[in-house]
Amino acid sequence: MLKSIDHIGIAVRNLDESLDTFQKLLQFEDVHRESIAEQKVDIASFKIGEVKIELTCPTSDDSPIAKFIAKRGEGIHHIAFASDGIETDLKRIKSEDIRLINETPLRGAHDMLIAFIHPKSLSGVLAEVCQRK
Protein backbone atom coordinates (compact mmCIF):
# COMPACT_ATOMS: atom_id res chain seq x y z
CA MET A 1 0.00 0.00 0.00
CA LEU A 2 0.95 3.62 -0.49
CA LYS A 3 0.77 5.23 2.93
CA SER A 4 2.62 8.50 2.97
CA ILE A 5 4.66 10.97 1.01
CA ASP A 6 8.29 9.89 1.23
CA HIS A 7 9.85 12.82 -0.59
CA ILE A 8 9.42 15.61 -3.09
CA GLY A 9 12.01 15.73 -5.86
CA ILE A 10 13.14 19.14 -7.08
CA ALA A 11 15.27 19.59 -10.21
CA VAL A 12 18.04 22.15 -9.73
CA ARG A 13 20.88 23.54 -11.85
CA ASN A 14 23.36 24.12 -9.04
CA LEU A 15 23.16 21.75 -6.08
CA ASP A 16 25.25 23.80 -3.64
CA GLU A 17 23.46 27.07 -4.35
CA SER A 18 20.01 25.51 -4.01
CA LEU A 19 20.97 23.59 -0.89
CA ASP A 20 22.28 26.79 0.67
CA THR A 21 18.97 28.60 0.03
CA PHE A 22 16.85 25.73 1.38
CA GLN A 23 19.16 25.53 4.40
CA LYS A 24 18.60 29.22 5.13
CA LEU A 25 14.85 28.73 4.76
CA LEU A 26 14.40 25.51 6.75
CA GLN A 27 17.50 25.44 9.01
CA PHE A 28 17.95 21.66 8.95
CA GLU A 29 21.16 20.14 10.28
CA ASP A 30 21.48 16.82 8.48
CA VAL A 31 22.01 16.55 4.75
CA HIS A 32 22.36 13.32 2.84
CA ARG A 33 24.39 13.58 -0.36
CA GLU A 34 24.68 10.93 -2.99
CA SER A 35 25.67 10.46 -6.64
CA ILE A 36 23.48 8.11 -8.66
CA ALA A 37 25.54 7.11 -11.69
CA GLU A 38 22.71 5.22 -13.45
CA GLN A 39 20.56 8.35 -13.52
CA LYS A 40 23.48 10.79 -13.98
CA VAL A 41 22.49 12.94 -11.03
CA ASP A 42 23.82 14.19 -7.72
CA ILE A 43 21.31 14.59 -4.93
CA ALA A 44 21.15 16.36 -1.60
CA SER A 45 18.23 15.51 0.66
CA PHE A 46 16.98 16.72 4.02
CA LYS A 47 13.89 16.26 6.14
CA ILE A 48 11.13 18.68 6.99
CA GLY A 49 8.78 16.91 9.39
CA GLU A 50 8.30 13.38 8.07
CA VAL A 51 8.87 14.33 4.44
CA LYS A 52 12.20 14.56 2.66
CA ILE A 53 13.03 17.09 0.02
CA GLU A 54 15.41 15.76 -2.55
CA LEU A 55 17.34 18.31 -4.62
CA THR A 56 18.45 16.62 -7.81
CA CYS A 57 21.11 18.06 -10.12
CA PRO A 58 22.18 16.57 -13.46
CA THR A 59 25.82 15.53 -13.89
CA SER A 60 25.53 15.19 -17.66
CA ASP A 61 23.54 16.82 -20.48
CA ASP A 62 21.89 13.50 -21.33
CA SER A 63 20.59 13.00 -17.79
CA PRO A 64 16.76 12.86 -17.63
CA ILE A 65 16.94 15.74 -15.12
CA ALA A 66 18.99 17.86 -17.58
CA LYS A 67 16.29 17.27 -20.19
CA PHE A 68 13.58 18.22 -17.70
CA ILE A 69 15.37 21.48 -16.80
CA ALA A 70 16.01 22.31 -20.48
CA LYS A 71 12.31 21.87 -21.24
CA ARG A 72 10.61 23.26 -18.14
CA GLY A 73 13.25 24.99 -16.04
CA GLU A 74 14.05 24.25 -12.42
CA GLY A 75 11.21 23.20 -10.14
CA ILE A 76 9.23 20.36 -8.65
CA HIS A 77 10.07 17.20 -10.57
CA HIS A 78 8.14 14.47 -8.78
CA ILE A 79 6.26 13.40 -5.67
CA ALA A 80 7.27 10.06 -4.16
CA PHE A 81 4.85 7.84 -2.26
CA ALA A 82 6.19 5.31 0.22
CA SER A 83 5.17 1.73 -0.48
CA ASP A 84 5.33 -1.21 1.92
CA GLY A 85 5.30 -3.70 -0.98
CA ILE A 86 6.39 -2.19 -4.28
CA GLU A 87 5.88 -5.26 -6.51
CA THR A 88 2.28 -5.66 -5.32
CA ASP A 89 1.62 -1.91 -5.62
CA LEU A 90 2.97 -1.78 -9.19
CA LYS A 91 0.72 -4.68 -10.24
CA ARG A 92 -2.27 -3.01 -8.63
CA ILE A 93 -1.51 0.37 -10.21
CA LYS A 94 -1.15 -1.27 -13.63
CA SER A 95 -4.45 -3.12 -13.15
CA GLU A 96 -6.14 0.26 -12.52
CA ASP A 97 -4.99 1.36 -16.02
CA ILE A 98 -2.60 3.92 -14.61
CA ARG A 99 0.45 4.01 -16.88
CA LEU A 100 3.77 3.04 -15.33
CA ILE A 101 7.11 4.23 -16.71
CA ASN A 102 8.89 1.41 -14.84
CA GLU A 103 7.03 -1.87 -14.44
CA THR A 104 9.93 -3.33 -12.50
CA PRO A 105 11.64 -1.30 -9.77
CA LEU A 106 15.00 0.43 -10.21
CA ARG A 107 17.54 1.38 -7.56
CA GLY A 108 17.13 4.96 -6.35
CA ALA A 109 18.72 7.19 -3.74
CA HIS A 110 19.02 5.87 -0.18
CA ASP A 111 19.26 2.40 -1.77
CA MET A 112 15.50 2.35 -2.23
CA LEU A 113 13.53 0.48 -4.87
CA ILE A 114 11.72 2.99 -7.07
CA ALA A 115 9.37 3.09 -10.06
CA PHE A 116 7.76 6.04 -11.82
CA ILE A 117 4.14 6.60 -12.85
CA HIS A 118 3.61 8.45 -16.12
CA PRO A 119 2.45 12.07 -15.66
CA LYS A 120 -0.07 11.63 -18.50
CA SER A 121 -1.91 9.20 -16.23
CA LEU A 122 -1.83 11.49 -13.21
CA SER A 123 -2.95 15.03 -14.02
CA GLY A 124 0.50 16.01 -15.25
CA VAL A 125 2.27 14.93 -12.05
CA LEU A 126 5.27 12.64 -12.26
CA ALA A 127 4.92 10.31 -9.28
CA GLU A 128 7.33 7.79 -7.85
CA VAL A 129 6.56 4.71 -5.80
CA CYS A 130 9.42 3.85 -3.47
CA GLN A 131 10.25 1.22 -0.90
CA ARG A 132 13.13 0.92 1.50
CA LYS A 133 15.00 -2.36 0.99
Q: Which residues bind Zn ion (CB under 5 A)?
A: 9, 80, 128
Q: Which of 39, 26, 104, 35 is nearest to 78 (CA)?
A: 39
124: left (phi over 0), alpha (psi -120 to 50) or beta: left
CB-nearer residue toward Zn ion: 51 or 95: 51
CB of 42 to Zn ion, least distance (A): 14
Note whether 68 and 75 are within 8 A (CB).
no
CB of 46 to Zn ion, least distance (A): 14
CB-nearer residue toward Zn ion: 27 or 83: 83
Residue 6: other Cβ atoms inside 10 A: 23
CB-nearer residue toward Zn ion: 5 or 98: 5
CB of 9 to Zn ion, least distance (A): 4
CB-nearer residue toward Zn ion: 80 or 86: 80
CB of 14 to Zn ion, least distance (A): 19
Decide: residue 106, CB within 10 A, 0-12 exposed, 13-18 middle, 19+ buried: middle
